[in-house]
Amino acid sequence: MNFDTIIKGGSVVTASDQMRADIGIQNGQITAIAIDLTDPAATTIDATGKLVLPGGIDSHVHIAQPSGDGIVMADDFESGTRSALFGGNTTIMPFCLQERDGDLRSAIDWYRGLTEGQLYTDVAFHLIVANPSPQVLGQQLPAAIEDGYTSIKVFMTYENLRLNDAELLATFDVARRHGGTMMVHCENEDAIRYLIDRHEKDGEVRPRAHASTRPIPVEREATHRALSLAEIVDLPIVIVHVSNGAAAEEIRRARQRGMKVTAETCPQYLMLTAKDLEGMDWEGAKFVCSPPPRDEAEQAACWQGLKDGTFDLFSSDHCPFRYASEDGKLNPKGAKNFRYIPNGIPGVETRLPILFSEGVMKGRIDIHKFVAVTSTNHAKTYGLYPRKGTIAIGSDADIAIWDPDLVKTVRHEDLHDGADYSPYEGLTLRGWPVMVMLRGKVMMRDGQLEGALGDGHYLTRASAPPSKTI
């Protein structure tokens, strides 16, 4: 057999196995895995002493998402996928937003247009439904699911995005009947509004108020409600960006009742706390995201949730805004009142190195869990498996080679996103990706870009079968 490429001598790791093996690649796919491949190959890559992992899949990122009020997201598809690539990822899943006064079909067409020739990694979209009108629920959403846009996020917070309970139930029902996967942002908007009013009356408008207006009960209650509504509809759901132990406990209880729930946490809930929002000179704005980071006890609860399987997914929730910019965190209103600081932090490039260093190298999780929660489970949850998310014969040759001994300190000047800071600046991490291959092509090697813009593809997904009764 002839190969285009052989990766030789590495330690190949999947969600379940680890073996010293060579990988043969032909036409962008893995066609052989063996102890010693001696067949001719156009290119041989020496991976001796390295870990050979499936490329990361980050199923929760925001790229070029319309943000209103003069706010502009710091990444377009070029910079967002480039940053993802350098962080060891080969697929990312951003959100295509239906605005409250817009329709879903034109949002999809517009957002797909932004990707044309602009990708360094593969990409597949989720949809955000902000206005479940009869037309959207009756025609546009079923048609979009049929076209392979099979995952849909809904919000229980933000005045212009939130769905009320009736709208949640109606949207869940469409997902159930047509085979969509629902992702839910769980925070109670009315409770937040009440707390914001109270803070403003007290003159408390600094960035730290973002955390105290979105305390744990705000998330816990909404998590419980989302799970209950899904249980009533009889629909498996995904609870995204879980920040604390009480919300995790709601998920465990729902599973004990027999519900099928997928749950996600993110680096900010392991590494940051609400204290980070207390930075002087408004620097706390750099850490404003929702749900907000909590405290050390909740960080420990999130680590525990990763370890014990409460969390299936570890995503970045990359949602970048420049800090020192009128279209970002320090917009004219945001520089005076926390309410107007755009919610979200960058992190697509640091997600994997953080979990590798803080999780695997510090013995909190094993390498198989690392692969599962950063790649395999994302592919399984969102209909990309086994094309993506594993190293197996017939899978796309999306591979990241890691040097577990490489030590680097996070400096934003070394990252590749469009923001002007990293929330993890100064954090020293052991273990970084040194080569990333997308469908058999080396895209990044030793910190240098080798791939070309346009090498990434938009991934079509098959329409999922209707959700099974749980």
Contact by Cβ (8 Å): 385, 287? no
219 binds, among ligand DUC, Zn ion, none (CB under 5 to 8 A by kind): none
Cβ at position 156, least distance to Zn ion in Å: 9
Cβ pair 28, 69 in contact under 8 A: no
**Paired sense of beta strands 151-155 and 126-128, if any:** parallel
- Using CB under 6 A as the binding rule, whether residue 317 contacts ligand DUC is answered as yes
* Near ligand DUC by CB under 6 A: residue from 343, 376, 377, 381: 343
Residue selected from 57, 319, 371, 437 as contacting ligand DUC according to rule CB under 6 A: 319
Least distance to ligand DUC from the beta carbon of 201, Å?
24
CA-based angle 73:318:112, to the nearest 5? 60
Q: How far is CA 1 from CA 47, 206, 290, 395, in A?
A: 21, 64, 52, 18
**DSSP codes of every residue in 284-341:** GGGG--SSPP--HHHHHHHHHHHHHTS--EE---B----SSSTTSTT-TTTTT-GGGS
- Is 344 a binding residue for ligand DUC by CB under 6 A? The answer is yes
CB of 186 to Zn ion, least distance (A): 9
β-bridge partners, 52: 12, 401
Residues linked to residue 380 through DSSP beta bridges, in sequence order? none
Nearest residue to Zn ion, scored by beta-carbon proximity = 185
CA nearest to 5, candidates 388, 379, 401: 401
**172-176, long-range: CB < 8 A, 24+ apart:** 172/229, 172/230, 172/233, 172/235, 172/237, 173/233, 173/235, 174/132, 174/137, 174/141, 174/142, 175/145, 175/235, 175/467, 176/233, 176/234, 176/235, 176/466, 176/467
Site map for ligand DUC, 169-188, x if CB under 6 A? ----------------x---
Q: Does 334 bind ligand DUC (CB under 6 A)?
A: no
Of 94 and 245, nearer to Zn ion (C-beta) is 94
The site partner of 343 among ligand DUC, Zn ion, none (C-beta below 5 to 8 Å per kind) is ligand DUC
- Interaction between residue 377 and ligand DUC (CB under 6 A): no
* CB of 236 or CB of 320, closer to Zn ion: 320
Cβ neighbours of residue 158 under 8 Å, at least 6 residues apart?
A: 189
Minimum separation from the CB atom of position 347 to Zn ion (A): 10
Site for Zn ion in 298-337 (CB under 5 A): 317
Closer CB to ligand DUC, residue 343 or residue 390? Answer: 343
Considering only residues 106-165, where is the footprint of ligand DUC by CB under 6 A?
none
Cβ–Cβ < 8 Å for 383, 461: yes
Contact in structure between 335 and 71 (CB atoms under 8 Å): no
Among residues 13 and 330, whose Cβ is nearest to ligand DUC? 330
Convert residues 403-442 into a mask of x (bound to ligand DUC by CB under 6 A) and - (unbound).
----------------------------------------
CB of 62 to ligand DUC, least distance (A): 6
290 binds ligand DUC (CB under 6 A): yes
Among 178, 185, 286, 380, binds Zn ion (CB under 5 A): 185
Longest dimension (CA), the chain: 74
CB 229 → ligand DUC: shortest distance, Å?
A: 19
CB of 403 to Zn ion, least distance (A): 30
Q: Minimum distance from CB of 346 to Zn ion (Å)?
A: 12
- How many other CB atoms are found less than 10 A from the CB of residue 164? 12
Q: How many helices (H) and strands (E) does the chain have?
A: 14, 18
Q: Contact positions toward Zn ion, by CB under 5 A?
A: 185, 317
Residue ranges that bind ligand DUC, judged by CB under 6 A: 62, 185, 241, 289-290, 317, 319, 343-344
